[in-house]
Amino acid sequence: MTDIKSQAEVAYAKKEYKLAAELFSKAAIEADNRSNPAESSELRNNASVAFLQANDADSAFNIVANSEAIFIEIGDKKRHAMALGNQAAALEALGQKKKAKELYIEAAELLKASGDKELRTFVLKRISAIQVQEGKQFEALGSLYAALENSENLTFREKTLKKLSSLVMRLMQRG
């Protein structure tokens, strides 16, 4: 099994995403056969990311659907959130923005509870992007501000956005 997983990781690093997805999927089946559901779920999430990179959103969603259940069972909030985030990313690629946003919001809350600021920042930015697409600019600004407020390592551009969004948020509170 480890050999297949290693091959998948090498394929992913080489940007051979379809091959990586297939290998991660095969490794997940082997983990299932060894009665290791947590490892299988982790590998299915890896396959989902690879399928998305290969522009196969249907397969990305199908392989990761309900993968969060095992992480709920073992109490792993971070991997639970990551599974929801992977589902959301696949749904977003499939054009199901509303459902994607709901899953991203749930993932953001779990990541807040788990203390993973980096992943939470990424998820909050995805929420903001969907809100912009929905025409909800003020909500998007709030989500973006939360993402930037959450992040510890900001680029110059992000620092500028944070200052501007903070100013807008303060002006909105006065009005």
* Domain tally, the chain: 2
Same domain flag for 70 and 98: yes
**String of b and e for 133-151 (b: at least 16 CB within 10 Å)?**
eeeeeeebbbbbbbbbebb
Task: Say if residue 132 is in the same domain as residue 150.
Answer: yes
54 or 165: which leads in pLDDT = 54
For CA atoms 60, 18, 45, 145, the dihedral sign is negative
pTM given for the model: 0.84
In a shared domain, residues 85 and 123 = no
- Which of 58, 86, 107 corresponds to the end of one domain? 107
88 and 154 together in one domain: no
- Of 66, 82, 107, the one marking the end of a domain is 107
| pLDDT, position 1 | 47
Identify the domain containing residue 134 by its residue range. Answer: 116-175
Q: Are residues 125 and 94 in the same domain?
A: no
Shared domain check, 139 and 94: no
Residues 65 and 3 both lie in one domain: yes
Calculate the average pLDDT of the chain.
90
Q: pLDDT per residue over 161-171, tens digit each?
A: 767 777 776 76
- Using alpha carbons, list the distances in angstroms from residue 49 to 72, 82, 84, 126, 161: 20, 11, 12, 15, 29
Residue 172 is predicted with a pLDDT of: 65
Q: How confident is the model over 4-47, as pLDDT tens digits?
A: 999 999 999 999 999 999 999 999 999 999 999 999 999 999 99
What per-residue confidence (pLDDT) applies to 99?
Answer: 97
My answer on whether 87 and 153 are in the same domain is no
If asked whether residues 87 and 126 sit together in one domain, one would say no
Dihedral of alpha carbons 97, 60, 120, 122, sign: negative
| pLDDT value of position 60 | 98
Q: Which residue has the higher pLDDT, 92 or 171?
A: 92
State which of 84, 107, 130 marks the end of a domain: 107
103-153, pLDDT tens digit by residue? 999 999 999 999 999 899 899 989 999 998 998 887 877 777 777 777 778
pLDDT in tens, 56-68: 999 999 999 999 9
Residue 86: which CATH number? 1.25.40.10
> What is the C-alpha to C-alpha distance for residues 40 and 121, in angstroms, rounded to an integer?
27
Q: Using an 8 Å Cβ cutoff, are 141 and 170 in contact? A: no
